[in-house]
Chain A
């Protein structure tokens, strides 16, 4: 068990697995065949889900945890860690994933929420959780519940990077702001953020989150991945961006290279050449408010 200022957070071995994934690309897959393509392209991990976000958006209906059979097939096919998504608050889907020995659970806004008030108590599980956030307060609430990794939400299935950028900038500037506050200001700040005081104090001193911080939601090109890394992401999740493009294997390889060499424009130019068509993107401001995935969870 790890603790910060007396507050329990996720186990070191679970935060440690997220550390091992840094500088890598975690790719959404719906079946074993896609998982194999992802692993061969250099993914550090695959995320099993029922449908990629772009299809969830298009087809509608309730989006749930991936079928058990699909998860088992994916686990048998690849040697990299296998993650899977559960609905926000659906702790029984999480219990099933724990029984399957999935390596990481994503309590995700991309699926239809099962609970409109409460997220899962992540300390009740022997496997780690990653959760989405749009700002510092949301990140610290999830870490307080036991998340071992945070990812900014972006807008999944949009193929548009603007929300991912907004959320990463909000998070990074929220952290930076905390480091400028005097000790007596931190309790009020904790109240404003709606975040545990112990975590607020820790972040104010350390200038970073106590768990790794990755980026998700809208990455469609190698340049998008490198942009998020330069803005402070420590790894990236790519959902629809790969398997909704015209040449998934090639695009996946390019995004892997771009995530490693994110500071090297010569490499970025080279890997961005001749990738075929990217997924078709959506103009976020034209989406009705109720179709946004990022506003799920609190």
Chain B
């Protein structure tokens, strides 16, 4: 029987693949790597590209990842895949966007948080909920 290594491909939004493989290929930061079973511990960033998993029958499965991390231990390969394309300036743009949205939404607002008002309104909402609860109990009982 051929030697195998366990492969997990997970992303933040869910598991993508899990199973045994005889060989795993991925596009690491400094070039393509091939991981065979009993590979030494290794960790690298991944570039957008293909992750190929070769199983015991010799079939290859392809997974596209848009980046992420590759972690290798002698019996385990983990691909922590990104679901989004990441780049410094893209992230920067997303951050600016989030800031701008906040500013737009809150234009003309004071930065001072008003506890008294907030607490009063919350107390009212909770009181309403409690009253509804009571009414329901009275009707039920």
A associates with B: no
Which B residues contact A (CB, under 8 angstroms)? none
Which A residues contact B (CB, under 8 angstroms)? none
